[in-house]
């Protein structure tokens, strides 16, 4: 019986929509301009030409047909097509440690007697979209668009193509920052995504299904959505949901408001077919802004953390915990000596706001905290046993401290496509090293393109000379021309040599 009722309800909605659509198309139902007659007290309306169109008001209050052409014209030049190519090395170094022939002229028989050379791998190509955010050529896209790529190529709306450098990535939000060297670039401004409202018109701009420079229209369907698509340990998901059509290839493209400003980076779709079914998701521009600022200023993302495990409050959870329902975020556990612990937050507290912003769901709380850095202080209001309590919390970093962890910013490191850090005491003691440098992250660059190096490699020598810290690596490579030989080990003790050519 319940099923029959639901079926009838669905048909009612469908038929009502059909009748309205037919009536509008025939001009029976019209959008009108009001003209009040004071002498009768009755509102008299006048028909507006083109009655089948949607209408909006301009800044002066005049009614006009809703039109996306001006917005499209503003944004198309700022959205780019991205091609990421994963070529791998021409030589498989797993179990094959002899120097490739092209580099023997630089190093002679220095490492003679290793295993034979491997085989050439076939390139894999992926595509996506990106948004130019300033005239220095910085482009925001999704991390999954360029992850594991050896080369990244950006094509502008005018079909000019450029090789891109990966400035940095943030897997926790699935964002990446690229840069191209080009002049007279069209850019897009970011706005406060907190001001975006459900029901607001938005456009999705990108390159779906191999179709360059595509614009689709829709509305903001919801905010602060968590769809559990990001498997990173510290993942932040608080997506803007939209029904503007998004398909594979739109990833990294722009979600814009009618003023042509960026409100989000299109990232994912919910679909059983792999193509658009009405549900698209974008990273809010406030998160994008924070990630970009951190990558440019510090070289990596500074993530402030409360140090709690949380659940969105609902009636079932309230019943489970035997508490009165309060809209907010339930604190399940509090990490020892975390910022939350030191501030006095307890298990069983319900977080209802941060810095005056309501936290009705876990994704919304994550989004607000993700906009902060270690050492930042936030004012949190909790409901504890039916009473509100205000607490000041100093956020920590992932290592439990409050300091900013800055990445070394060297131009040669961008050319290599790698992040480095000095080895810790444990690794040094394990291998008897009084210093060395570990590769913590690989991006598109020389190392990925020309070697099979894996993240975690510990560099002990460059061109046969001992290196003990990051400054030694920079000194050995800056201004270097020709071949480079990196010697080192992995944490399992296996020793490897990696050779590549360094452009002048």
Residue 492 confidence (pLDDT) above 70? yes
Give SS3 for 96: coil
Mean of per-residue pLDDT scores for the chain: 83
pLDDT digits (tens, 9 = 90+) for 333-356: 999 999 999 999 999 999 999 999
DSSP letter at 201 equals: E
pLDDT band for position 155 (cuts 50, 70, 90): very high
Give SS3 for 321: helix
Active site residue 174: yes
State how far the alpha carbon of 21 is from the alpha carbons of 14, 29, 30, in Å. Answer: 11, 9, 11
State how far the alpha carbon of 318 is from the alpha carbons of 49, 323, 386, in Å. Answer: 54, 5, 12
Active site residue 81: no
pLDDT digits (tens, 9 = 90+) for 198-228: 999 999 999 999 899 999 999 999 999 999 9
Q: How far apart are CA 94 and CA 98, in angstroms?
A: 11
Tokens of 406: 């800055």
Q: How far apart are CA 295 and CA 301, in angstroms?
A: 6
Contact between 206 and 252 (Cβ < 8 Å): yes
Neighbours of 272 (CB within 10 A): 6
Strands 437-442 and 418-422, how do they pair? antiparallel
The catalytically annotated residue of 251, 285, 338, 353 is 251
Pick from 103, 291, 121: nearest CA to 193: 291
CA count, 13 A, side-chain hemisphere, 280: 34
State how far the alpha carbon of 335 is from the alpha carbons of 303, 305, 319, in Å. Answer: 16, 11, 25
More confident residue, 361 or 442: 361
235, exposed or middle or buried, with CB in 10 Å at 0-12, 13-18, 19+? middle
pLDDT of residue 46: 42
Averaged over 292-300, what is the pLDDT?
91
Give binding residues for substrate as ranges.
144, 174, 249-251
Residue for token digits 């003691």?
429
More confident residue, 11 or 297: 297
State how far the alpha carbon of 10 is from the alpha carbons of 219, 270, 308, in Å. Answer: 22, 22, 42
State how far the alpha carbon of 190 is from the alpha carbons of 131, 134, 254, 260, 353, in Å. Answer: 10, 10, 10, 9, 25
Q: What are phi and psi of 446, to 5 degrees?
A: -60, -45
The catalytically annotated residue of 84, 89, 144, 238 is 144
Q: How far apart are CA 89 and CA 74, in angstroms?
A: 41
Domains assigned to the chain: 200-298 (2.40.10.10), 308-395 (2.30.42.10), 407-502 (2.30.42.10)
Largest Cα–Cα distance of the chain, in whole Å? 104
When mean pLDDT is compared across 124-138, 180-194, 404-418, the lowest value belongs to 404-418
pLDDT digits (tens, 9 = 90+) for 454-491: 999 999 999 999 999 998 998 998 888 889 999 999 99
Q: How far apart are CA 391 and CA 377, in angstroms?
A: 10
CA of residue 220 relative to chain centroid, distance: 19
pLDDT of residue 22: 32
Neighbours of 105 (CB within 10 A): 10
Active site residue 77: no
Q: How far apart are CA 223 and CA 198, in angstroms?
A: 7
The catalytically annotated residue of 150, 174, 349, 419 is 174
pLDDT band for position 409 (cuts 50, 70, 90): low
pLDDT of residue 25: 36
When mean pLDDT is compared across 11-20, 86-95, 276-285, the lowest value belongs to 11-20
CA count, 13 A, side-chain hemisphere, 139: 35
- Positive or negative, the CA dihedral 240, 242, 244, 245 is positive
Tokens of 32: 């009108």
Give binding residues as ranges.
144, 174, 249-251
Contact between 286 and 370 (Cβ < 8 Å): no
Contact between 185 and 135 (Cβ < 8 Å): yes
């Amino acid at each position: 019986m319940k099923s029959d009722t639901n079926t009838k309800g669905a048909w009612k909605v469908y038929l009502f929509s059909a009748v309205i659509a037919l009536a509008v198309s025939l001009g029976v139902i019209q959008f009108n301009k009001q003209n009040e007659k004071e002498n009768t007290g009755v509102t008299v309306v006048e028909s507006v030409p083109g009655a089948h169109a949607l209408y909006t008001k301009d800044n002066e209050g005049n009614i006009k047909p809703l039109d996306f052409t001006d917005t499209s014209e503003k944004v198309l030049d700022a959205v780019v097509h991205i091609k990421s190519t994963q070529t791998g090395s021409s030589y498989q170094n797993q179990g094959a440690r002899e120097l490739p022939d092209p580099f023997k002229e630089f190093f002679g028989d220095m490492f003679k007697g290793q295993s034979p050379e491997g085989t050439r791998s076939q390139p894999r190509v992926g595509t996506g979209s990106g948004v130019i955010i300033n005239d220095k050529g910085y482009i925001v896209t999704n991390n999954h668009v360029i992850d594991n790529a050896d080369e990244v190529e950006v094509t502008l709306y005018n079909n000019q193509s450029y090789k891109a450098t990966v400035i940095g990535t943030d897997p926790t939000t699935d964002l990446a920052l690229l840069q191209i060297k080009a002049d007279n670039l069209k850019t897009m401004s970011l706005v406060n995504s907190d001001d975006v409202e459900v029901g607001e018109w938005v456009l999705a701009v990108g390159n779906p299904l191999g179709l360059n420079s595509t614009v689709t229209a829709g509305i903001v369907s919801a905010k602060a959505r968590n769809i559990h698509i990001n498997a990173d340990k510290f993942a932040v998901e608080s997506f803007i949901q939209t029904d503007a059509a998004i398909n594979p290839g739109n990833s990294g493209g722009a979600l814009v408001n009618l003023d042509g400003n960026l409100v989000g980076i299109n990232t994912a779709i919910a679909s059983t077919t792999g193509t658009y079914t009405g549900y698209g998701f974008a990273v809010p521009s406030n998160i994008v802004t924070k990630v970009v600022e951190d990558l440019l200023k510090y070289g990596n993302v500074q993530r402030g953390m409360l140090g709690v495990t949380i659940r969105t409050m609902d009636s079932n959870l309230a019943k489970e915990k035997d508490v009165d329902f309060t809209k907010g975020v339930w604190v399940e556990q509090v990490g020892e000596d975390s910022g939350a612990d030191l501030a006095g937050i307890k298990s069983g507290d319900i977080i209802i706001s941060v810095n005056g912003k309501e936290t009705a769901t876990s994704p919304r709380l994550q989004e607000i905290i993700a906009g902060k850095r270690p050492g930042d202080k936030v004012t949190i209001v909790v409901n504890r046993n039916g009473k509100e309590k205000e607490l000041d919390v100093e956020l920590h970093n992932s290592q439990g401290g409050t300091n900013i962890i800055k990445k070394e910013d060297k131009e040669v490191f961008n050319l290599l496509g790698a992040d480095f850090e000095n080895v810790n005491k444990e690794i040094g003691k394990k291998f008897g090293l009084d210093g060395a440098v570990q590769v913590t992250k690989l991006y598109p660059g020389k190392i990925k393109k020309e070697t099979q190096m894996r993240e975690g490699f510990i560099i002990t020598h460059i061109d046969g000379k001992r290196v003990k810290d990051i400054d030694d690596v920079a000194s050995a490579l800056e201004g270097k021309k020709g071949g480079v030989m990196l010697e080192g080990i992995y944490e399992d003790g296996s020793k490897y040599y990696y050779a590549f050519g360094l452009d002048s």
